Structure 1
Amino acid sequence: MRESAYGPGRTFWLRKSSYSGSNGGQCVEVCPAAGQVLVRDSKYARPAESRPIIAVPNDAWPTLLELALSGGVGELGEALVLERRRGGDTAVVDRQGIELLFTAPEWDAFAKGVADGQFDLE
């Protein structure tokens, strides 16, 4: 699914897994951008333009997708770490300390979308 959102001084399109359900509110959202893929968590209550966003370099994106499919964790190059937390939550943490914490159902819906090719770079 795609929805319009706002970034600094521009409008961009976000993708979320079709497995996330129709209630919105709890999903991994991604936005392909120049040389990177922006990731955010829809459950943050702040306005869309002020939610934390992590930039995943394009060369690290395939590794993130592979880890999502396999249920794995690890470092994604120099930029990011994917960690599993108590209760099955998944954290995506960048080197500046920005952390996105996804619940097990959120990450599972994302992984199902990955398996369907919904997040392949075009």
Structure 2
Amino acid sequence: MDRHQDLTSAQWRKSSYSGDTGGDCIEIAPLTPRIAIRDSKNPDGPVLTLTPDAFARFVEAAACGRLRG
């Protein structure tokens, strides 16, 4: 994770599967060569940046229910 990533030009987007009722949503922003992830309820909070490969594994694990909070 790059602690000095400039996020000022990041174009954040929330999944189309997310509703408007809050809940457990994340937002992502493509930042070549990484993908940034943040909690949509805390946009000024911490940001995780992953390589495209690591992001694909993260999405797969989430889709299969392998991520637990």
CA RMSD of aligned residues (A): 2.4
Matched, 1:31 2:25: no
Sequence identity percentage = 35
Tell me, in whole angstroms, the C-alpha distance in 1 between the residues paired with 2:6 and 2:58.
25
Rg larger in structure: 1
The alpha carbon displacement at 1:58 in A equals 1.6
Tell me, in whole angstroms, the C-alpha distance in 1 between the residues paired with 2:50 and 2:37.
7
Q: TM-score, normalization: structure 1?
A: 0.45
More helix by share: 1
The alpha carbon displacement at 1:19 in A equals 2.1
The alpha carbon displacement at 1:37 in A equals 0.7
More strand by share: 1
Matched, 1:58 2:48: no
Alpha-carbon contact 1:31-1:38 (below 8 Å) kept? yes
> Gaps (5+ residues) in structure 2?
none
Tell me, in whole angstroms, the C-alpha distance in 1 between the residues paired with 2:30 and 2:46.
16
Residues 21-30 or 59-68, more deviating: 21-30
Counterpart in the other structure of 1:112 = none
Alpha-carbon contact 1:30-1:38 (below 8 Å) kept? yes
Tell me, in whole angstroms, the C-alpha distance in 2 between the residues paired with 1:19 and 1:9.
24
